[in-house]
Amino acid sequence: MFYQLFRSIIFLQDPEKAHERVIRLGKFFGENNLTNFLKTLFNYEDPRLNSNVCGIDFKNPIGLAAGFDKNAVFTEFIEGLDFGFEEIGSATFEGGGGNEKPRLFRLVKDNAIINRMGLNNHGAHEINKNLTNRKSKIPIGVNIAKTHSPKIMGDKAIKDFSDSYKTMTEGDYLVLNVSCPNTLEGKTFEDPGALRELLAEINSLRISYGDTRPLFAKLSSDVDNELSGILQVCEDEGIGGYVLSNSSSKRESLRTSQKILKQIGMGGLSGKPIREKSTKIISRVYQETKKPIIGVGGIFTAEDAYDKIKSGAVVLELLTGLIYEGPWITKKINKGLVKLLEREGFKNISEAVGVYHK
């Protein structure tokens, strides 16, 4: 109730300016060692939420999705809000300012966001340095993408991705964002041929560096007929798991008027309207690969989270839900998950993974 009031004030501000203020606030909390104070407000612990995925310990399954802390500047703040982990980025080898503003829009009637930020970030070197200096203890996913430039294509694109990989030495797991919907050159690496080349190159680097961090591929929520082909490539190249899913370029069944949608223009849709879509992809990928899945897309409640876990996700991430529901969202979902586990007789969250398909 309090956040609903607070939210109506925040929502009077331009969405990107509001986000910049949150970044400043987050940095302030981190720099002034206020994480423990935040924990007194937001902390919720229950051993039934602990899990180990690919050798990484998660104290709860709710992580922050890529795009909120692109430059890894407030991982302490995110830990203070009781997120179980955080995915930073997308980091690109050459940093960049992203697309022209305005590029971030709220669809309040739909509990959704459209963004065409265009991979604005400070570049792999600076982001890795920020991670080196972090004091937070939560697991960190490092999401890398190709530098946003139509000039970097083909072999240059593979080299650009590899340069980011070589630079991003920090973090607990790696994510290749091959599905950004907001670049001029399009989603280059969801083409199976290009994806195979990319994965082969990154894998050979991982072997030569003895890098044991698990490697995930982040796919779009719009993949459909092409999904099996993409999965075949990922499996052939020994991918560790999947992040499902990125935002959507589609505009299906929205309450927001066509006129407003036209004014907004292109961009990735996130939040409630993509919840079911991303859950369906999780189900499909779980059944086809049985690989660890980080489920993301439209999570606002414990029920949304549980549905994705039962569909096959091992841990989850959210972003739009945080903006609409506020910083209490992690505690609310984690508490709710424990109740749902109790109701269904599970002793630990990992027992519920993929039960829809068993």
Residues near ligand FMN (CB under 6 A): 65-67, 70, 89-90, 104, 113, 115, 117, 119, 143, 177, 218, 246-247, 270-271, 274, 296-299, 318-321
Distance in angstroms (rounded) separating the CA atoms of residues 142 and 90: 8
- DSSP β-bridge partners for residue 243: 218, 294
Distance in angstroms (rounded) separating the CA atoms of residues 126 and 139: 19
Distance in angstroms (rounded) separating the CA atoms of residues 3 and 41: 14
Q: Which is nearer to ligand FMN, 333 or 346 (CB)?
A: 333
Q: Which is nearer to ligand FMN, 48 or 244 (CB)?
A: 244
Residue 220 CB, nearest distance to ligand FMN (Å)? 9
Instruction: Enter the DSSP assignment of 99.
Output: S
Beta-sheet pairing, 85-91 with 215-219 = unpaired
Helix (H, G, I), strand (E, B) or coil at 89: strand
Residue 180 CB, nearest distance to ligand FMN (Å)? 6
Q: Which is nearer to ligand FMN, 48 or 146 (CB)?
A: 146
The residue number with the shortest CB distance to ligand FMN is 67
Residue 258 CB, nearest distance to ligand FMN (Å)? 21
Residue 280 CB, nearest distance to ligand FMN (Å)? 14
Distance in angstroms (rounded) separating the CA atoms of residues 183 and 206: 27
| Residues 6+ positions from 63 with CB-CB distance below 8 Å | 83, 84, 85, 86, 87, 141, 294, 315, 316, 317, 318
Residue 263 CB, nearest distance to ligand FMN (Å)? 18
Residue 269 CB, nearest distance to ligand FMN (Å)? 9
Q: Which is nearer to ligand FMN, 264 or 346 (CB)?
A: 264
Q: Which residues of 168-185 are buried (b: 16+ CB within 10 A; e: fewer)?
A: bebbbbbbbbbbbbbbee
Q: Which is nearer to ligand FMN, 58 or 346 (CB)?
A: 58
Q: Which is nearer to ligand FMN, 115 or 167 (CB)?
A: 115
